[in-house]
């Protein structure tokens, strides 16, 4: 035998053994069983699609557990309670985000408070926080939230009713900026609530 052909024969033998022992050849179905990412034969490494778990979904900012309204302080503040899993009752004062209704003694204070009372008369509301999974509070310790009764955004509704301007002193709404601006434009055009007052008295 020609010596020059020995390396070729050796390579051919190694290749034959590798193919014969490959997991795809041993699979009854004839399908490859190696990992398409890293070629591990047992598909047990952390990179394998067959063993990696789907990432847990990010908790939404929307608190889908309902809260019970126990008191309406004014047009932009309510007190709510919620029974916790260990059976204690959590009580929070909630300040509605992006609105600033008239204070006590100012025109339309009573109207704004009554409007909010009417909207929450069913007793149960849902809270949505500005950032996902992160409750925030104002300087008075009040929980800051967008308040919903079913699918109705009460914060935007109060602006549409003319009970408040779209209040952006601490920044615009991340999610509802367009809704707030549209609601304010509608209230202004119809001269509802604060927009029927003399210039400079709107709660901006």
Which stretches in the chain have pLDDT values below 50?
A: 14, 16-61, 201
Q: H-helix or E-strand containing 119?
A: helix 109-119
Token output for 193: 């609530």
The pLDDT score that the predictor gives to residue 8 is 54
The pLDDT score that the predictor gives to residue 15 is 52
The model's pLDDT over 155-171, given as tens digits with 9 standing for 90+, comes to: 999 999 999 999 999 99
The pLDDT score that the predictor gives to residue 133 is 73
- Is 185 labeled as catalytic in the residue annotation? no
The pLDDT score that the predictor gives to residue 51 is 34
> What domains sit in the chain, N to C, each tagged with a CATH number?
1-53 (no CATH), 62-196 (2.40.50.90)
Strand partners, 92: 80
Q: % helix / strand / coil in the chain, to the nearest 5?
A: 30, 20, 50
The catalytic position among 44, 90, 91, 103 is: 103
The catalytic position among 95, 113, 128, 160 is: 95
The pLDDT score that the predictor gives to residue 198 is 59
The pLDDT score that the predictor gives to residue 42 is 44
The pLDDT score that the predictor gives to residue 134 is 86
Q: Calculate the CA 82 to chain-centre distance.
A: 20
- Is 142 labeled as catalytic in the residue annotation? yes
The catalytic position among 128, 142, 160, 184 is: 142
In b/e form, how buried is each residue of 49-72, taking b as 16+ CB within 10 angstroms?
eeeeeeeeeeeebebeeebebeeb
Q: What is the DSSP string of 129-150?
A: -SBTTB--B-TT-PEEEEEEET
- Is 44 labeled as catalytic in the residue annotation? no
The pLDDT score that the predictor gives to residue 81 is 97
The pLDDT score that the predictor gives to residue 4 is 54
């Amino acid at each position: 035998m020609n010596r020059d052909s020995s390396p070729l024969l050796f390579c051919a033998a190694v290749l034959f053994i590798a193919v014969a022992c490959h997991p795809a050849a041993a699979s009854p179905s004839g399908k490859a069983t190696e990992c398409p990412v890293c070629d591990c034969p047992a598909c047990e490494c952390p990179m394998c699609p067959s063993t990696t778990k789907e990432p847990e979904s990010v908790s939404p900012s929307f608190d889908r557990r309902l809260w019970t309204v126990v008191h309406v302080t004014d047009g932009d503040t309510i007190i709510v309670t919620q029974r916790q899993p260990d059976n204690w009752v959590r009580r929070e004062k909630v300040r509605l985000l992006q609105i600033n209704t008239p204070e006590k003694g100012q025109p339309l204070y009573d109207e704004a408070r009554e409007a909010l009372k009417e909207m929450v008369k069913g007793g149960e509301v849902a809270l949505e926080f500005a950032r996902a999974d992160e409750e925030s509070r104002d300087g008075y310790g009040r929980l800051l939230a967008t308040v919903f009764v079913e699918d109705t955004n009460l914060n935007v509704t109060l602006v549409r009713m003319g009970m408040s301007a779209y209040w952006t002193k601490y920044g615009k709404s991340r999610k509802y900026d367009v809704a707030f601006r549209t609601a304010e434009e509608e209230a202004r055009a119809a001269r509802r609530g604060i927009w029927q007052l003399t210039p400079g008295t709107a709660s901006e």
